[in-house]
Amino acid sequence: MTKKPYLFVLALCFVLPALLFAGGNQESENSGKSLEIFSWWTAGGEAEGLQAMLDVFHEKYPDIEIINATVAGGAGTNAKAVLATRMQGGNPPDAFQVHAGHELIDTWVVSGYMEPVTFILKENGWMDKFPKDVIDIISYKGEVYSIPVNVHRSNVMWYNPKLFKDNGLEPPKNMDEFFTVAEKLKAAGVTPLALGDTNGWPATHLLESVILASTGPEKYRQLWERKVSWSDPDVQEALENYAKMMNYTNSDHAALTNMDAAGYVAEGKAAMNVMGDWVAGYYKSQDYTQGVDWDWMPTPGTQGNFIMLSDSFGLAKNAPNRENVIKWLEVCASKEGQDAFNPIKGSIPSRIDGDRSKYDAYLNAAMDDFASNEIVPSVAHGAAVSEAWITKINDIMSVFTTDLDVKKATIEFQAVADRYAPK
Amino acid sequence: MYCPKQETRKGLLVVLPLSAVLFVFVYGFILWSLKVSFSAWDGILPNMNFIGLENYRRLFSSQRFVTDLFNTLYFTLFFMVVCIVGGFFLSYLLYSRLRAEALFRTIYLFPLSLSFVVTGVLWRWVLSPEVGVNALFHMLGFKASFGWFTSTQSFGKFNYALISLIIAASWQYLGYTMAMFLAGLRGIPDQIIESAELDGAGEFRIIRSILLPMLKPITFSAMIVLGHISLKIFDLAYAMTGKGPAFVTDFPGLFMFETTFRGNHYAEGAAISIIMLLLIALVIIPYLYSTFRGEET
């Protein structure tokens, strides 16, 4: 009798791990019939949009079991940590969400974890259904590596029409006008620019628009390819402008999230805010009316340009259900799949032939601009730079937004560019 | 103590599986982290090329990490002082004055049942510059413009924004230290105090010459418990403030998490972890040493 407890403990030590591994084996026996989709779309319109696209997939392939593996929290940070562990451990999910562009390419493609998906676009004759600028952003060495399911615009200025009207002002179209207008608003006791950078990246989000306004699209692209230096006069002008803009922001910006700041505009607490176009979906969900509570225009000085970011899915090497992933990517790239997902998510399709009647007024306007504008990649959202680089940029921004020291920031921006720009 | 051989063997058999797991997953991985921290691993693909102390050199020349270290220092210092002084004061009140001891003990201990994440969210609301206590002061007609955790002012290397975190953390752990001191006070024999009173010692004399010296071991334990909490603080800062403008509320734990899991700077993250381990070792090793010595005698 006395021996038994020890034996029991010992037995447990050996049996438990065995059980765990048995679970693992079972999963792989299912392969061929299932599809695991890994994302951080857990809330509101995102999760519903994903579900709509899953429904499209299910209708086409009713036999394939869909495993919707979402990891909540941290704007994708938690999901990315789980993903990194799984990829490095040789257990990749079938399909995973990733920002199109360098976030995908520098992290996963260059390190050899991904398979090209050019053949999916070619076989379906879809190469010309995506704008060339988009194909460039998702390509590496001539091959396409991910299927973008949506497009968001970063360089949008949201403004409060009533505040502008009351003060007899027009929304600014370039930086000079911005500072004139901001000065007048400030004198009238209105906060000119709402910022909510408690999470860090909204400051970088604002900076990318300010840089584009000074450099134009060509130089903007070259800056992130390290062909233009940070001491270039146009880039310097942008940094000066950013520092100057901080005089016109709300004093509690470090305590607010980006959505709080967007809310300030609709509530009339601030006149302008620069944020991506998911704000339109947010306003809609809060029952604010376009033209009354809010309106939009491209950020000052960036008319004719479209800073894009996009969520995409790729094909990992050794994906357990490769055939099913390819079917899934076909749905992601199809008109049907994109038109199911995007109206609910509040983004526009990455294809040029979306069904306009399914999208609201703002999204239709965004689709017009996407079709006609110069498209450049977003920095804050992983299209133009790698995650390694952007985390360092966000750190520099955290200090720069506070001390407004252009000289010091320039040196630091250049140092991280030298270290992390693709060679 | 008499211990037959068979019993010893059985005992070893029982502790063996857990020790093996500990050695691999705790000590093994500490050594692995140490190795990574000397490597050039900066990206998804492991790169174990030895680069010596380069990662550490880079850390100590980065504004973020230096700020983190000073934040840790000041946060630990003030958190410990507030908790220990406040905890002793409260416990003394309960011990000597208040009648409804059980009630107050519960009230003060209650925050401890929350996690730091809940505390963080709660105090974020209370101290938010536009809607929190500042708004209350405004309603009462005072001018309050302190930015709390968004303040970027500092005195020397002490960032004022830390005050908010110190308040939140102390609020949670004040009751805990109070309970520790209370237990200590209850353990002091009444006769000593009574005889001191007969000798004409006043209240302060009793506190200074009897209670405080006899509570030394308790104070020491409290410092260890509070010290290791504040040295590896992560959850409270993450939920309440994040890294803050210009890192005014940043800590090594936050930096490590962001740089490793967001930026894939694995070697840099490992170096931060090793430094955090050393900081905590500075507190824990003297404690273990004194406990073991205590057990032997």
Chain A residues with beta carbon closer than 8 angstroms to that of B128: 252, 255
Which of B133, B261, B265 has the most A C-beta neighbours within 10 Å, making it the best mutation to test the interface with A?
B261
Could you tell me the pLDDT band of residue A383, with boundaries at 50, 70 and 90? very high
Helices (H) and strands (E) in chain A, counts: 17, 15
Dist CA B225 CA B214 (whole Å): 19
Phi and psi (nearest 5°) for B9? -65, -45
- The tokens of B36 are what? 């990574």
| Confidence label for A77 from pLDDT (cuts 50, 70 and 90) | confident
CB A77 within 8 A of CB B262: yes
Q: Which H helix or E strand runs over A156? A: strand A156-159
Closest CA to A265 of A246, A281, A244, A279: A279
A139 min Cα distance to partner chain B (Å): 19
Neighboring chain B residues of A6 at a CB cutoff of 8 Å: 10, 13-14
Over the stretch A137-179, which tens digit does the pLDDT of each residue have?
A: 999 999 999 999 999 999 999 999 999 999 999 999 999 999 9
What's this model's pTM, rounded to 2 decimal places? Answer: 0.87
Least confident segment among A80-84, A238-242, B271-275:
A80-84
Task: Please tell me if residue A82 touches chain B, with a CB cutoff of 8 Å.
Answer: no
Using an 8 Å Cβ cutoff, are A214 and A301 in contact? yes
Among candidate residues A263, A170, A274, the one with its CA nearest the CA of residue A212:
A274
The whole-angstrom separation of Cα A202 and Cα B222 is 41
| Residue A391 at interface with chain B, using a CB cutoff of 8 Å | yes
Tens digit of each residue's pLDDT (9 = 90 or more) over B200-211: 888 889 999 999
B2: pLDDT confidence band, cut at 50, 70 and 90?
low
pLDDT for the residue A12: 52
> Looking at residue B50, what DSSP letter applies?
B
> Cα–Cα–Cα angle for A22, A26, A28, nearest 5°?
120
pLDDT 10s digits, A226-246: 999 999 999 999 999 999 999
Across the range B241-268, mean pLDDT stands at 92
Q: Which of A10, A80, A253 sits opposite B13 (nearest CB)?
A: A10
Instruction: Specify which residues A273 forms β-bridges with.
Output: A158, A194
> What pLDDT is recorded for position A342?
93
Closest by CA position to A195, among listed A251, A138, A149, A116: A251
Q: pLDDT confidence of B19, banded at 50, 70, 90?
A: very high
What is the structure's pLDDT at A139?
92
Residue B61 has pLDDT above 80, yes or no: yes
Residues of B in contact with A13 (CB under 8 A): 17
B13 to A6: CB separation less than 8 angstroms, yes or no: yes
Which run of H or E residues covers position B13?
helix B5-22
Give the whole-angstrom CA distance, residue A51 versus residue A342.
11
Average the pLDDT over B52-59 and give the result: 94
Query: Residue A252 is nearest to which of B14, B17, B130, comparing CB atoms?
Result: B130
Asked if the C-beta of B128 comes within 8 angstroms of chain A's C-beta atoms, the answer is yes
- Identify the pLDDT of residue A6: 56
pLDDT bucket at B153, cuts 50 / 70 / 90: confident
CB-based contact, B39 to chain A, within 8 Å:
no
The residues pairing with A97 across neighbouring beta strands, listed in sequence order, are A313
Report the pLDDT value the prediction gives residue A27, as an integer from 0 to 100.
44
Highest mean predicted confidence (pLDDT) among A74-83, A178-187, A248-257, B184-193: A178-187
Q: Using CA atoms, how far apart are residues A308 and A374, in angstroms rounded to an integer?
A: 10
Where does the pLDDT of residue A44 fall: very low under 50, low under 70, confident under 90, or very high at 90 and above? Answer: confident
Dist. CA A308–CA A370, nearest whole Å: 9
Single-letter amino acid, residue A50:
L
Give the pLDDT confidence score for residue A328 in this predicted structure: 93
Tokens of A148: 């973008």
d(CA A7, CA A131): 67
Confidence of residue A207 (pLDDT cuts 50, 70, 90): very high
Please indicate if any CB of chain A lies within 8 Å of the CB of B113.
Answer: no
For A160, counting Cβ atoms within 10 Å of its Cβ (0-12 exposed, 13-18 middle, 19+ buried), the class is buried
Write out pLDDT tens, residues B98-126.
777 788 888 888 888 899 999 999 999 99
Q: How far apart are CA A236 and CA A242, in angstroms?
A: 10
**Contact between chains at B246 and A398 (C-beta distance less than 8 A):** yes
Q: What is the pLDDT of residue A20?
A: 46
Interface of A with B in 22-61 (CB under 8 A): none
pLDDT of residue A82: 86
> How many percent of chain B have pLDDT more than 90?
56
Sequence-distant (≥ 6) Cβ neighbours of residue B155 within 8 angstroms? none
Return the pLDDT at A19.
46
Residue identified by tokens 């620019």 is A193
Å between B244 CA and nearest CA of chain A: 7
Cα–Cα distance between A92 and A22 in angstroms, integer? 19
| Contact at CB, B263 and A13, closer than 8 angstroms | no
Selected residue with higher pLDDT from A14 and B203? B203
| Residue written as token pair 């939140």 | B168
Q: How confident is the model at residue A9 (pLDDT cuts 50, 70, 90)?
A: low
Taking 70 as the threshold, does the pLDDT of residue A71 lie above it? yes
pLDDT surpassing 60 at residue A13: no
At residue B287 the predicted structure's pLDDT band, cuts being 50, 70 and 90, is: confident
Sheet holding A270-274, edge to edge: A191-194, A270-274, A156-159, A295-298
Instruction: Evaluate if residue A347 carries a pLDDT over 90.
Output: yes
Vertex A276, ends A271 and A281: CA angle to 5°? 85
Among partner residues B45, B244, B262, which is closest to A77 by beta-carbon distance?
A: B262
Say how far apart CA A154 and CA A277 lie, in whole Å: 6
Distances (CA, A) of A199 to A18, B237, B245: 42, 13, 10
Contacts of B263 in chain A (CB under 8 A): 387-388, 390-392
Give B296's pLDDT tier (boundaries 50, 70, 90): low
Q: Which residues of B touch A398 (CB under 8 A)?
A: 243-247
Q: Which two tokens stand for residue A344?
A: 């609910």
pLDDT recorded at residue A14: 52
What percent of chain A has pLDDT above 70? 92
Chain A, chain B: beta-carbon pairs less than 8 Å apart: 87
Task: Name the residue of chain B whose CA is nearest to A393's CA.
Answer: B263
Taking CA atoms, A137 is separated from A152, B229, B262, in Å, by 14, 45, 21
Q: Does B291 touch chain A (CB under 8 A)?
A: no
**Complete edge-to-edge strand list for the sheet that includes strand A374-377:** A152-153, A305-309, A374-377
Least confident of A216-220, B109-113, B199-203, B292-296: B292-296
Residue of B nearest to A6 (CA): B14
Measured between CA atoms, how close is B112 to chain A, in angstroms? Answer: 25
pLDDT number for residue A193: 96
Is A311 a residue whose pLDDT tops 50?
A: yes
User: Best interface-test mutation with B: which of A395, A400, A408, A412 has the largest number of B CBs within 10 A?
Assistant: A395
Q: How many Å separate Cα A208 from the centre of its chain?
A: 13
Mutate to test the interface with A, among B62, B159, B235, B262 (most CBs of A within 10 A): B262
More confident residue, A79 or A379: A379
Q: Which amino acid is at A305?
A: N
**3-state secondary structure labels for all residues of B252-292:** HHHHHHHHHHCCCCHHHHHHHHHHHHHHHHHHHHHHHHHHH
Amino acid occupying residue B78: F
Cβ separation A254–B63 shorter than 8 A: no
Any B CB within 8 A of A75 CB? no
Flag whether residue B165 sits within 8 Å of chain A, measured between CB atoms.
no
Interface contact A133, partner B, CB < 8 A: no
In the chain, the amino acid numbered A340 is A
**A243, A407 Cβ separation under 8 angstroms:** no
Q: Which residue has the tokens 């179209």?
A: A173
Q: Could you tell me which of A383, A346, A354 has the C-alpha nearest to residue A371? A: A354
The answer to whether the Cβ–Cβ distance between B261 and A391 falls below 8 Å is: no
User: Do residues A69 and A36 touch, judged by C-beta distance below 8 A?
Assistant: yes
Pairing of strands A270-274, A34-39: unpaired
Q: Which residue has the tokens 């500072």?
A: A179
Chain A contact for B14 (CB, 8 A cutoff): yes
Q: How far apart are CA A69 and CA A41, in angstroms?
A: 10
DSSP state of B132: S
Q: Residue B210, exposed/middle/buried by CB under 10 A (0-12, 13-18, 19+)?
A: middle
Put simply, whether A6 touches B (Cβ < 8 Å) is yes
Distance of alpha carbon A366 from alpha carbon A290, whole angstroms: 14
Alpha carbon distance B54, B40 (integer Å):
9
Contact list in A for residue B129 (CB cut-off 8 A) is 251-252, 255
Separation CA B214–CA A108 (nearest Å): 61
Q: What per-residue confidence (pLDDT) applies to B3?
A: 59
**β-bridge partners, A305:** A374
pLDDT for res A24: 42
Q: How far apart (Å, rounded) are the C-alpha atoms in residues B59 and B53?
A: 10
| Alpha carbons A170 and A300: distance in angstroms, whole number | 12
Closest CA to A54 of A294, A256, A332, A249: A332
Contacts of B164 in chain A (CB under 8 A): none
> Is residue A388 a contact partner of residue A197, using CB atoms and an 8 Å limit?
no
Distance (Å, whole) CA A242 – CA A265: 20
Which one, of A189, A181, A139, A164, lies nearest residue A377 by Cα?
A: A139
Average pLDDT along chain B: 90
